[in-house]
Amino acid sequence: MGPTNIALVQLYQADMALRAAQGRLEAATKNVRIQERRVRDLEQKHSGQLQALKEQQTQAAQLELDIKTRDARIERLRGQQQAAKNNKEYQAFLIEINTEKVDRSKAEEQALKIMEQVERGLVEVKELATHMEGEKVKSQTMKDQMGDTVAALQAEIDGLRPARDAAAAAVSPKALMAFERLADRFEGEAMSALSKPDRRREEYVCTACMMDLVTDVYNKLHARDELIFCPSCHRILYIPDELPPEAAVNKKKPPREKPAGDVPAATTRRQESAADVLKSMTPDEPEDGEKSEQGHG
Ligand SMILES: [Zn+2]
C-alpha cells in the first residue's frame, strides 16, 4: 500500500486501541454514572416539590390575609349596622355582612384545603430528602470504591492518546477528515480490511459489510496511494497483513514467460500432484483394461 493508506491503518489501529480503553472505562463506571443520574433525578424532584410547596404556602398566606381583611370589614359593617337610622338601612348592612360571611367561609375552606396540602407536602419533601441523602452516600461510596480502577483505566487511556495523536499527525489533512467523519459514523470503525474468502478465486469482499468488491481493488490498493472506499458501506478499504500479494494474487494462469524461481515451484507441485493421481490410478487401469478386453475376446 502507499504511504497514505499505511498511515491510515496505523491511525486506525491506534484509534481503535484508544476507543477500546475508553470503552472499558465507560463500562467500569457505568453503575456509578447510573447512580449519579439517580441522585440528579431525585434532586430535581426534590427542588420541584420545594417549589410547589412554596407556591402553596404563598397561596395560603394570601388566603389568610383575605380572611383577616373580611373579618375587619364585617366588624366595620356591624358597627355601621348598629348605627343604622332605620330598618331599611339596617337590612342593607345585614345583606352586606352576610355576603362577606359567605365569601369568608369560602376563603377559609380553600385555605384549609391548601394547608392540608402543605402539611402533606412537608412530609413528602422530608421523606424525599432522606431518600436523596441515602442515594448520595451510596453514590460516593461507589465512587470511592471505584477510585483505583478508574485511575488505572484513565492512565491506560492517557498512555494510548499520544500514539493516536502522532498517528493522526502523520495522515494528510484530507485523508484525516475522511477518516474522522467515518470514525464518528461507525463508532471508530472507519476502515475495513479486504478479505479473500476463497483461496483459489481472485475475489475480494469488504469484511465490514461482506459486500463483493471489484477484482482490481487489491492491485489498486497495493500499487497506488489513494483512498478506496467500499461502495456499499463507504468505509476506507485496506489490505490486512494476512493478505500479502503472494496470498492475494492468483497464480492459476502462469504467465507465458515469467522469470525462473516462481514458476518451477508451481510446476513441480503440479507435476507432483499429477503423478500422484496417475500413481493411484495405474494399478487398477491395466487390470480393468485386460478384463474388458478378455470379455470382448
Ligand atoms: Zn463495506
Q: What is the CATH number of the domain that holds 122?
A: 1.10.287.1490
Q: How far is the CA of 193 from the centre of ligand 1 (A)?
A: 9
- Which pLDDT belongs to residue 292? 43
Q: How far, in Å, CA of 112 to CA of 132, rounded?
A: 30
Q: How far is the CA of 235 from the centre of ligand 1 (A)?
A: 6
Domain-terminating residue out of 117, 145, 169: 169
Q: How far is the CA of 189 from the centre of ligand 1 (A)?
A: 11
pTM, 2 dp: 0.57
Whether residue 256 lies inside any domain: the answer is: no
Place of cell 464518528: 184
Average pLDDT rounded to a whole number, residues 267-292 = 42
Q: How far, in Å, CA of 11 to CA of 7, rounded?
A: 6
- Confidence category of residue 272, pLDDT binned at 50, 70, 90: very low
Q: How far, in Å, CA of 178 to CA of 235, rounded?
A: 9
- Which pLDDT belongs to residue 256? 53
Whether residue 253 lies inside any domain: the answer is: no
Q: How far, in Å, CA of 50 to CA of 102, rounded?
A: 33
- Which pLDDT belongs to residue 252? 52
Whether residue 283 lies inside any domain: the answer is: yes
Task: Identify the domain containing residue 27 by its residue range.
Answer: 3-169
Q: How far is the CA of 202 from the centre of ligand 1 (A)?
A: 18
Question: Are 197 and 62 contained in the same domain?
Answer: no
- Order across the sheet with 236-238: list the strands: 212-213, 204-206, 191-195, 236-238
Q: How far is the CA of 186 from the centre of ligand 1 (A)?
A: 12
Element (H, E) at 188: none
Question: Are 185 and 156 contained in the same domain?
Answer: no
- Which pLDDT belongs to residue 246? 82
Judged by phi (left if over 0) then psi (alpha if -120 to 50, else beta), residue 194 lies in beta
Q: Flag whether pLDDT at 151 surpasses 70.
A: yes
Cβ neighbours for 249, distance < 8 A, ≥ 6 positions apart: 202, 218, 219
Question: Are 196 and 128 contained in the same domain?
Answer: no
Residues with CB in 5 Å of ion ligand 1: 206, 208-209, 211, 230, 232-233
Q: How far is the CA of 243 from the centre of ligand 1 (A)?
A: 17
Cβ neighbours for 31, distance < 8 A, ≥ 6 positions apart: 142
Phi and psi at residue 212, to the nearest 5°? -65, 140
- Confidence category of residue 249, pLDDT binned at 50, 70, 90: confident
By CB neighbour count within 10 A (0-12 exposed, 13-18 middle, 19+ buried), where does 148 fall?
A: exposed
Question: Are 186 and 140 contained in the same domain?
Answer: no
Contact 43, 132 (CB under 8 A): yes
Q: Quick check: helix, strand or coil at residue 193?
A: strand
- Which pLDDT belongs to residue 90? 94
DSSP per-residue codes, 6-31: HHHHHHHHHHHHHHHHHHHHHHHTHH
Residue 114 CB neighbour total at 10 angstroms: 21
Whether residue 255 lies inside any domain: the answer is: no
Q: How far is the CA of 251 from the centre of ligand 1 (A)?
A: 26
Q: Angle between the 30-82 and 3-28 helix axes, to the nearest 10 degrees?
A: 50
Q: How far is the CA of 27 from the centre of ligand 1 (A)?
A: 28
Question: Are 31 and 124 contained in the same domain?
Answer: yes
Whether residue 127 lies inside any domain: the answer is: yes
Question: Are 27 and 156 contained in the same domain?
Answer: yes
Contact 248, 193 (CB under 8 A): no
Question: Are 165 and 281 contained in the same domain?
Answer: no
Percent of the chain with pLDDT strictly greater than 90: 73
Number of domains composing the chain: 3
Question: Are 93 and 198 contained in the same domain?
Answer: no
Q: How far is the CA of 172 from the centre of ligand 1 (A)?
A: 23
Q: How far is the CA of 157 from the centre of ligand 1 (A)?
A: 29
Question: Are 48 and 75 contained in the same domain?
Answer: yes
Q: How far is the CA of 192 from the centre of ligand 1 (A)?
A: 7
- Which pLDDT belongs to residue 283? 43
Q: How far is the CA of 19 from the centre of ligand 1 (A)?
A: 21
Q: How far is the CA of 10 from the centre of ligand 1 (A)?
A: 19
Question: Are 273 and 152 contained in the same domain?
Answer: no
Question: Are 116 and 71 contained in the same domain?
Answer: yes
pLDDT one-digit tens code per residue, 31-40: 899 999 999 9
Question: Are 101 and 153 contained in the same domain?
Answer: yes
